[in-house]
């Protein structure tokens, strides 16, 4: 059936949690009510990426881009645009700088410097429709893989592409596959690592939610390349939407003869099963992940032997994360040379980042390798919220360092981030402003690592706890300058001696802030002061007598009952009872409370 209009509604987790499902249902109901259901097809897609302004609705062919949509807006969209052919101006995205309404996606600064390869279908197709994936060149490359290319040719194209693992280590994908192909054994396995556990990261989850078939196609290709006939997707159980869509996609692929015995009569067998993880961060490490898939406790084991030689059930196994595998269908369809033209000399292709924190335009961002941090934060991201000053940016999640403004113009690739004291990681990017305290941030990530450490090796088990204790000591105002040397020494010991990368990189936030923000640590120690006001023990709230009019609002909002005073007379704070919650400071309308 030919339609006059197509309405794409965001069906990612963030938008669905913000009544996205209701918007979708209301649009269908309104189309039926006004008798235009035969004129418009309403599709639920994956994430559009522009999470800051979701839920998003896009109307084609006009390219109308509606943001912050609410269920009650559905009636107006159908009545105005579908029935009368007029856009709804109040819902169109507005550029902050020009105050000019725009409709075309390419006119929106958030998308202008992006280049979508992994996210090519997210926000474009219905992720629960294999036909829509095929219509967008899906499974096109698989035809060559199954009927034209040898395993050596497949790996050769991967080598030409220069694709490196997007899970964090940046190991050449072709080399990992080649090692597994050459490994002895009739039984081999392919595992997709979808156990995305970094705080603030949701790249892989969104890719599966928006384009699950790209991952399936990538896994089939990997299986043919190494001679494996069974694949597993390891995904944490707390991602129900991604799991549901992946299951639907797997069933569809089997129905179409793309999974199972004798795929498309090619003589090649390959199938995929889902394995649910319980949310252990350490299971992002490949050997711990393997143990979990086997039904054991997820704990790393020493390497070598590497999984490519002895992995799942002691069989040759390759493990690639979602983003790596989603690149594969593009490489097989367009050729490795196509991807190799994108990026830098040593880091080819694009990288997906989850841009979050104190930035105006948070969301999923895919840019060519070599794009600078400044371009991502200040052009795509729109700069810092509320006109605050930029302080730092962390890449790589709990394993990454915190970088300063001095390196914002450095092109992003694996080597440059490592040289600056951070890492690519899976793609988390958290922006911080002047209101963030580096001691508090380092303490947060170390607390996370203490909880997530499996405890198998002493450098990680003991080292994370010791660093956390010292950071808490500094945050309480009882730190000593000698503690900074201890942090440095313990962190370096963990880096060199830990069994896996959880312990090996857990100290990065602390070590990078010691290097880049040393004066702030010294301020906590020498002056007993936290300039951002995040370390409560170092904060003191006082009422300014010359500004206090005695309205009593602060006293009424104080949960500790520590503010006293007569009506219309200056009040006082009893410091011994103050819990440093800041309610008095936030609620005073006269600026009569100081925060030191």
Query: Locate tokens 């500004």: which residue?
Result: 547
pLDDT for res 197: 81
At 506-561, the pLDDT tens digits run: 999 999 999 999 999 999 999 999 988 889 889 889 999 999 999 999 999 999 99
pLDDT (average), residues 203-230 = 97
Assess contact for 358 and 394: CB atoms under 8 A.
no
pLDDT for res 326: 97
Alpha carbon 158 to its chain centroid, in Å, reads: 25
Q: How far apart are CA 188 and CA 519, in angstroms?
A: 53
What residues are paired with 309 via a beta bridge?
A: none
Tokens of 526: 């020498």
Mean pLDDT estimate for the chain:
93
pLDDT for res 170: 86
Q: How far apart are CA 577 and CA 423, in angstroms?
A: 43
Tokens of 435: 């209101």
Complete domains list, the chain, with CATH: 5-108 (3.40.30.10), 130-340 (3.40.50.11540), 350-433 (3.10.20.600), 438-526 (1.20.1440.230), 540-595 (3.30.70.20)
Overall pTM > 0.85: yes
Torsional sign, CA 430, 431, 437, 438:
positive
Alpha carbon 167 to its chain centroid, in Å, reads: 11
From 380, 384, 360, 375, select the one nearest 433 (Cα to Cα): 384
From 361, 35, 382, 347, select the one nearest 164 (Cα to Cα): 347
Mapping DSSP onto H, E and C, the string for 160-198 reads HHCCECCCCCCCEHHHHHHHHHHCCCCCCEEEEEECCCC
Q: How far apart are CA 395 and CA 350, in angstroms?
A: 16
Tokens of 246: 């992946």
Band (103; pLDDT cuts 50, 70, 90): low
Q: How far apart are CA 272 and CA 277, in angstroms?
A: 16
Tokens of 226: 């190494």
The burial of 224, by beta-carbon neighbours within 10 Å (0-12 exposed, 13-18 middle, 19 or more buried), is given as buried
Query: Locate tokens 């300058």: which residue?
Result: 481
């Amino acid at each position: 059936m030919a339609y006059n209009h197509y309405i794409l509604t965001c069906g990612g987790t963030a938008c669905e949690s913000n009544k996205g499902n209701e918007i979708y249902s209301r649009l269908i109901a309104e189309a039926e009510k006004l008798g235009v259901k035969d004129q418009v097809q309403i599709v639920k897609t994956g994430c559009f990426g522009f999470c800051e302004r979701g839920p998003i609705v896009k109307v084609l062919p006009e390219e109308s881009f509606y943001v912050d949509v609410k269920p009650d807006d559905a009636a107006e969209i159908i009545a105005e645009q579908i029935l009368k052919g007029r856009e709804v101006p109040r819902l169109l995205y507005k550029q902050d700088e020009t105050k000019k309404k725009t409709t075309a996606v390419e006119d929106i600064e958030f998308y202008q410097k992006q280049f979508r390869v992994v996210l090519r279908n997210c926000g474009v197709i219905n992720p629960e429709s294999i036909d829509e994936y095929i219509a967008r060149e899906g499974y096109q490359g698989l035809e060559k893989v199954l009927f034209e290319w040898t395993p050596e040719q497949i790996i050769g194209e991967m080598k030409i592409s220069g694709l490196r693992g997007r899970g964090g280590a940046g190991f050449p994908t072709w080399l990992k596959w080649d090692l597994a192909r050459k490994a002895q054994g009739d039984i081999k396995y392919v595992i997709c690592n979808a156990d995305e556990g970094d705080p603030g990261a949701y790249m892989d989850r969104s890719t599966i939610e928006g384009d699950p078939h790209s991952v399936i196609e990538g896994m089939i290709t990997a299986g043919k390349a190494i001679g494996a006939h069974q694949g597993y997707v390891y995904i944490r159980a707390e991602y129900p939407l991604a799991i549901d869509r992946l299951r639907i996609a797997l069933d569809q692929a089997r129905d179409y003869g793309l999974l199972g015995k004798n795929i498309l009569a090619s003589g090649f067998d390959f199938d995929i099963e889902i394995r649910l993880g319980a949310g252990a961060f350490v299971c992002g490490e490949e050997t711990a992940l393997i143990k979990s898939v086997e039904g054991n406790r997820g704990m790393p084991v020493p390497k070598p032997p590497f999984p490519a030689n002895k992995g799942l059930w002691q069989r040759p196994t390759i493990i690639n994360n979602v983003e790596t595998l989603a690149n594969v269908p593009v490489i097989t369809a367009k050729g490795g040379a196509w991807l190799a033209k994108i990026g830098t000399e040593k880091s080819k292709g694009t990288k997906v980042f989850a841009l979050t924190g104190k930035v105006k335009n948070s969301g999923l961002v895919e840019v060519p390798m070599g794009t600078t941090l400044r371009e991502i934060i200040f052009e795509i991201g729109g700069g810092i919220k509320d006109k605050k000053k930029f302080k730092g940016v962390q890449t790589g999640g709990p394993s990454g360092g915190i970088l300063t403004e001095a390196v914002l113009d450095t092109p992003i690739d694996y080597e440059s981030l490592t040289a600056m004291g951070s890492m690519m990681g899976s793609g988390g990017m958290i922006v911080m402003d002047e209101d963030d305290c580096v001691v508090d941030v380092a303490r947060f990530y170390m607390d996370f690592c203490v909880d997530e450490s499996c405890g198998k090796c002493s450098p990680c088990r003991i080292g994370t706890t010791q660093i956390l204790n010292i950071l808490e000591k500094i945050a309480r105002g009882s730190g000593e300058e000698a503690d900074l040397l201890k942090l440095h020494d313990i962190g370096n010991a963990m880096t060199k001696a830990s069994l896996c990368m959880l312990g090996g990189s857990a100290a990065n936030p602390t070590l990078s802030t010691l290097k880049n923000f040393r004066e702030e640590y010294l301020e906590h120690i020498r002056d007993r002061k936290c300039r951002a006001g995040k370390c409560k023990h170092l904060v003191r709230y006082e009422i300014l007598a010359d500004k206090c009019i005695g309205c009593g609002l602060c006293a009424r909002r104080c949960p500790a009952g520590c503010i006293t005073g007569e009506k219309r007379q200056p009040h006082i704070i009893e410091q011994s009872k103050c819990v440093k919650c800041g309610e008095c400071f936030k609620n005073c309308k006269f600026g009569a409370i100081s925060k030191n």
